[in-house]
Amino acid sequence: MTKEQMRTLLETSVNELYAASIEEASPQELFQALAHVVKHAYADDWRQTRTNILAEQQKQTYYFSIEFLPGKMLKSNLLSLDLLTTAEEVLKEVGTSLDEVAETEKDMALGNGGLGRLTSCFMDSLASLGLPGNGNGIRYKYGLFKQKFIDGHQVELPDDWLRSGNVWEVRKESKAVPIHFGGHVYLKENEAGVLKPVYEGGFTWRAVPYDTAMVGYQNQHLNTLRLWSVEVPSEEEAKYATLESRQALENLTAVLYPDDSNETGRRTRLMQEYFFVSAGMQSIVRYYKKMNLPMEQMSEKIAIHINDTHPALCIPELMRLLVDEEGLAWEQAWATTIKVMSYTNHTIMAEALEKWPVDMIKEVLPRMYQIIEEIDRRFIEGLEKVHPCDLLNRTRIISNGQVHMANLAIIGSHSVNGVAKLHSDLLKSVVLHDFYVIYPARFNNKTNGIAQRRWLQLANRPLTKVLDNTIGESWHHQPEDLTLLKNYQEDETVLQALADAKKTNKIALAKYIDAHCGIQVDPNAIFDVQIKRLHAYKRQLLNLMHILKLYFDIKENPNAQYHPRVFIFGAKAAPSYHYAKSIIKAINETARMINHDPQINDKIKIVFLENYNVSLAERIIPAADVSEQISLASKEASGTSNMKLMLNGAVTIATLDGANIEIRDAIGDENIAIFGLTEEEVYRYYAEKNYSAYTYFENDHRLQQIMNAFIDGTIPNIEWEGKEIFDSLIKYNDEYFVLRDFDAYCEAQNRIDIAYRDTRRWQKISLMNIANAGKFTADKTVQQYADDIWQIEPLFAHVKEPNDASLTQSV
């Protein structure tokens, strides 16, 4: 599409949508109109991809996830269609800018954090690799809450993202399916003597899919993200005439649950899980049947991935469809199910493993319960003679009145993976060790990755330009080619150009901070960034305590050598996570205290940006100098902001946790500041039960001063929040070893300060981070899933020469 063609299409689109000229259109109107032009540009290829997959009967993956977090899509779609510069030029011509227009798009924020964003990076990679892979999830009416700070406290507001419509989605009314909840089920022999379920009572709602194109990077391959919304079944319209009954129904897909362990809304959450699972599975089976192949061969055409345990009901639901609806024998159906299903675990914390009360599942999903019971019974029966009784009791699905979803997911899948090497090892040796004894071959690792197209090419244009001029553009398709940058470690011009790009981004972020927080920060200061959900184990508190240490140090010794720093936080706390909210309040109050202290003289600034989300991440990450990855070793499954920050040239200060270990291995100890307990040391403390936080407090005067600041009025306005934090450390013996790691952390921060003051050295370290970040591309991760777990291939791979880009494009 030429510039002229795009302009004409845009004019037509603005005219048809708003009866206006381009010049008259507002940025929002231009966004809508340009999105229509983009859809026009990909419509044929989207349809063609689907037709070709069916015609070729290619095996496809369906990625089931209760969260997707794509953020904004206009620019990423333009980039994928190679229309980004064209759109920039056209909008400039009409007196505005692509940035201004793109900014009006609402973030699609149907996820909490890492898990949802990883899923969206995977969607990008699946399409960009030309792999047939679709997403399946829920079209929540409200995305993750919007965060506001009022008097330093987090306040949650609804994210009504659909209010002015969603231009990217296509409602597929004809593909709606019924979903049954509640009532009673019993089994009755039919004429052929086969037991069939008979349903009594309960209610049936309708799941309507909305499809969104996942556009591959310049390869004409488009997959589909299918999100389900609940509706009243038309034949039962009358039943839902009252406001209350309609409300109950609409609640089902109204809100995304924050990652919370509280009890409210548990039943609706369970219904959500079954809703999108059953809808997705029904539509897959319907598609498979179009191919007229035997049901028991399903695994040759279909791979289903269970993203964390939230979609684990995929397993009993496929059993229901195969046995109850398609008439397969249990054994046949079970063998098929295991071959089709695979599962990723994203969490190490035992208390976060999903469980449901037996009574609730019986009430809400009676047929699912019967099937789960039968799976559980056969699991025990099949292994009784092979494994000891206590091992089976620890691994069975139903125990102590609860259904253990991870157990179901593992027993019903052929593959179980963790998301970083350490995490996968801990699954085998600790968290899921019993299952590893039973099914050693199922366990594998797939280290997470990120979409470098969004997190570098789109988010960081200044750096992209320097890279393109230095190493060419091959990294756009092959991110691992970023290693070419290593050849320029000693090249003063390149090092300076990289530093200039960083400075440009820091100036832009400083402007944003001034406009949104009214805080002036100096772009020459070190921008030190911790952006992630607020959780005790991620230890934002450790960061805050180090800031307090600097504060006291500078007050005591104002002339000490120290490079000014801006500490930037972005974090949402789950609404019912009391402790996390207290940390937010404490950071905000410390910011208020330090930012205005004339004695500190701007040597420290603290900025807590409100409402951290994908779009804000895209502003912060390119401007970061330091990346804070300071979780207690063994607790962070992988982390992905660590990879994004590294890719943008930030230097990492980190514990040996999650993917930090692989980052260290990739760049070498000299290019990262590692500190703190190792996973073995943490586990040794657990085994020996000999950690005493008080000992650390008792023996360190500075630490006492820092901790007392929370309770003696030094930090103002945090009376009970401060006490809660203080007590977590002393009274409750510091569950996440903050005091134990404090000294090591301060020492590592000091190494960062020294390295930064040696400008050339810092620039080289930053270059090495960028150069080694290609290792963490989601393209590579997804390729490993495709080869090792799903056995899917790019479209037409079997008739084409491998690696021939020109052919891949002629779909």
Residues that bind ligand 26Q (CB under 6 A): 112-115, 118, 257, 259-260, 269, 346-347, 419, 448, 636-640, 658
Distance of CA 709 to the CA centre of its chain: 35
What is the spatial distance between Cα 370 and Cα 402, in angstroms, rounded to a whole number?
14
Q: Residue 711 is encoded by which pair of tokens?
A: 């309770």
C-alpha 510/C-alpha 110 separation (Å) is 28
Provide the b/e sequence for 245-278 (b: ≥16 CB within 10 Å): eeeebeebbbbbbbbbeeeeeeebbbbbbbbbbb
In angstroms, give the least distance from the CB of 650 to ligand 26Q: 17
Characterise 651 by phi-psi region: left (phi > 0), alpha (psi -120 to 50), beta (else): beta
User: Looking up tokens 């290829």, which residue turns up?
Assistant: 45
CB of 305 to ligand 26Q, least distance (A): 13
- Three-state SS for 565? strand
CB of 111 or CB of 280, closer to ligand 26Q:
111
Q: Is 640 a catalytic residue?
A: yes
Distance CA 463, CA 468 (A): 9
Instruction: State the catalytic residue, choosing from 533, 549, 565, 605.
Output: 533
Residue number with CB closer to ligand 26Q (113 or 316): 113
Q: Is 75 a catalytic residue?
A: no
Give the DSSP per-residue string, 393-445.
Answer: HHH-SEETTEEEHHHHHHHT-S-EEESSHHHHHHIIIIITHHHHHH-GGGEEE
Q: Please report how the helices 719-729 and 578-595 are oriented relative to each other, as an axis angle in degrees rounded to 10.
A: 110
Q: Which is nearer to ligand 26Q, 86 or 629 (CB)?
A: 629
Is 387 part of the annotated catalytic residue set?
Answer: no
β pairing state of 355-357 and 398-399: unpaired
Task: Please name the residues in contact with 122: beta carbons below 8 A apart, sequence gap of 6 or more.
Answer: 63, 133, 778, 781, 782, 785
Please identify which of the residues 504, 640, 652, 781 carries the catalytic annotation.
640
Shortest Å distance, C-beta 575 to ligand 26Q: 11
CB of 311 to ligand 26Q, least distance (A): 12
Looking at the Cβ atoms of 611 and 641, the one nearer to ligand 26Q is 641
Q: In terms of CB distance, is 114 or 649 closer to ligand 26Q?
A: 114
CA pair distance 634, 680, nearest whole angstrom: 9
User: C-alpha angle with apex 800: 799 to 802, nearest 5 degrees?
Assistant: 135
Gap between the Cα atoms of 541 and 584, Å rounded: 9
Is 538 assigned a catalytic role?
yes
Q: List, in order, residues 6 or more apart from 605 with CB less than 8 Å away.
A: 519, 521, 525, 564, 565, 566, 567, 594, 595
Residue 299 Cβ, how far from ligand 26Q at the closest point, in Å? 25
Does the active-site annotation cover 532? Answer: yes
Q: With 0-12 CB in 10 A as exposed, 13-18 as middle and 19+ as buried, what is 344?
A: buried
The dihedral region occupied by 125, where left means phi > 0, alpha psi between -120 and 50, and beta the remainder, is: alpha
Q: Which residue is catalytic, options 532, 549, 565, 605?
A: 532
CA distance 558 to 178: 69
Return d(Cα 363, Cα 150) in angstroms, integer.
41
Q: How far is the CB of 735 from ligand 26Q (least distance, A)?
A: 17
Query: Which of these is catalytic: 644, 740, 764, 775?
Result: 644
Give the count of alpha carbons within 13 A of 463, CB side only.
Answer: 32
Nearest-10 Cα torsion for 431, 437, 443, 448 = 20
Q: What share of the chain is helix, strand, coil (3-state, %, to 5)?
A: 55, 15, 30
Tell me whether strands 153-159 and 604-609 are parallel, antiparallel or unpaired.
unpaired
Shortest Å, Cβ 123 to ligand 26Q: 14
Whole-number minimum distance, CB 308 to ligand 26Q, in Å?
7
Decide: 77 and 46 in contact? Cβ < 8 Å.
no
Distance (Å, whole) CA 123 – CA 366: 33
Active-site residue identified among 442, 538, 549, 635: 538
Smallest gap, in angstroms, from Cβ of residue 275 to ligand 26Q?
Answer: 15
**Closest residue by beta carbon to ligand 26Q:** 114
Q: Which is nearer to ligand 26Q, 271 or 703 (CB)?
A: 271
Question: C-alpha angle with apex 247: 246 to 249, nearest 5 degrees?
Answer: 65
CB nearer to ligand 26Q: give 42 or 455.
455
What is the nearest approach in angstroms of ligand 26Q to the Cβ of residue 266?
Answer: 8
Taking the complex as a whole, the smallest distance from the CB of residue 138 to ligand 26Q amounts, in Å, to: 12
Active site residues: 346, 532-533, 538, 640, 644
